[in-house]
Amino acid sequence: MKDQSNTNLHVSRAGKTDEFYTDISMVENELKHYREYFKDKIVFCNCDDPAMSNFWRYFQINFYMLGLKKLISTHFEKDKPSYKLEIIRQDDKIGQLAFLPDYVQTPLQSDGDFRSPEAVELLKQTDIVVTNPPFSLFRDYMAQLKAFHKDFLVIGNLNAVTYKEVLPSIRSNEIWLGYTSGHFWFKVPQSYEEKRTDFKIDENGQKWRRMGNICWYTNLDTASRHEDITIFKKYRPELYPSYDNYEAIEVPKVSDIPSDYKGVMGVPITFLTRFNPDQFEIVDVKSSGLLLTQGNGTVKSMYKRVLIKNKRVQGL
């Protein structure tokens, strides 16, 4: 009973959308693409209760396979002194891939907030930050990574591309999206209310919620961002109407991008999951405000659009 009420308190304080625990398959399916980046590196999971976190679990299990130097995880416990866990490489264990390394637990003076001086000190010694941070603090989280010039691989919502803490770095090709994106299931605390859709309770009584528009943000280079999007449609004015208030055409699906159009095109933000900066230039991203007159004369306000230009088509 006591545990449950503590959990409720924790959830309501932390923010209703913060306690989403990442499944191990989601961690593995993305992280398998970045193995070469982790050799001799210090990895920090700074929003991770080690008892729950599959980020901690993944790096603990794969510590020697990846060749990590150190793994740090801090647990957040609002307004209570918390703790960190650390695994430090033992040179005599290198090569023992099946060896599950021991960790050291040390108390923290503060609650483990990623912005706390203690967590920032740990961040400073870190090479790569990997986690799923709280959705409600995503702006602060990204701003901090940028301020400390850290390499990172973090889960977020695709809609966050429009944040001022994210968009300029996307446009300047300092950060991009990882390999996997879409809808994913996350474990949630028992105190989270049941939903009619995108909700399930598994055979162990564990509650899960499904979230859409989930993606990975990173500044570690990926092979996929150097691959062209295959486009083959031809531009025809009657198929691609122009916005009423912006000089660009509306392209409703990424696969509909005309291969021969010279000007600016508005595409859904899922485009960014396949964006190759050698193929396209991002001109702007609009959360709303782009107007499009429909065939019947009504004016539709278009939802989030990325405005792009094809670098390989000359002109304009």
Ligand X SMILES: C[S@@+](CC[C@H](N)C(=O)[O-])C[C@H]1O[C@@H](n2cnc3c(N)ncnc32)[C@H](O)[C@@H]1O
Distance CA 21, CA 102 (A): 23
Which one of the spans 12-20, 175-183, 191-199, 250-258 is the region binding ligand X (CB under 6 A)? 12-20
Q: What are the angstrom distances between the C-alpha of 168 and each of 146, 174, 251, 265, 284?
A: 11, 9, 23, 19, 10
Site string for ligand X, 19-58 (x = CB under 6 A): xxxx------------------------xxx--xxxx---
- Binds ligand X (CB under 6 A): choice among 43, 71, 129, 137: 137
Q: Determine if 275 is a binding residue for ligand X (CB under 6 A).
A: no
Which one of the spans 92-100, 133-141, 201-209, 233-241 is the region binding ligand X (CB under 6 A)? 133-141
Q: Length of the chain, please?
A: 316
Locus of tokens 């396949």 = 274
The minimum distance between CB 19 and ligand X, in angstroms, equals 5
The minimum distance between CB 27 and ligand X, in angstroms, equals 8
Q: Is 27 left (phi over 0), alpha (psi -120 to 50) or beta?
A: alpha
Which one of the spans 98-106, 110-118, 209-217, 234-242 is the region binding ligand X (CB under 6 A)? 110-118
- φ, ψ (nearest 5 deg) of residue 119: -70, -35
Q: Determine if 103 is a binding residue for ligand X (CB under 6 A).
A: no
The minimum distance between CB 49 and ligand X, in angstroms, equals 6
Pick from 127, 161, 162: nearest CA to 145: 127
Distance CA 184, CA 277 (A): 27
Please check whether residue 254 is in contact with residue 272, taking contact to mean a CB–CB distance below 8 angstroms: no
Q: Determine if 134 is a binding residue for ligand X (CB under 6 A).
A: yes
Q: Which is nearer to ligand X, 96 or 206 (CB)?
A: 206
- Binds ligand X (CB under 6 A): choice among 14, 143, 229, 313: 14
Q: Determine if 142 is a binding residue for ligand X (CB under 6 A).
A: no
- Binds ligand X (CB under 6 A): choice among 60, 132, 279, 310: 132
Cα 190 versus chain centre, distance: 24
Locus of tokens 């920032």 = 120
Distance CA 249, CA 64 (A): 51
Please check whether residue 259 is in contact with residue 274, taking contact to mean a CB–CB distance below 8 angstroms: no
Please check whether residue 178 is in contact with residue 222, taking contact to mean a CB–CB distance below 8 angstroms: yes
Which one of the spans 94-102, 127-135, 160-168, 263-271 is the region binding ligand X (CB under 6 A)? 127-135
Q: Determine if 129 is a binding residue for ligand X (CB under 6 A).
A: no
Residues near ligand X (CB under 6 A) are 14, 18-22, 47-49, 52-55, 76, 112-114, 131-134, 137
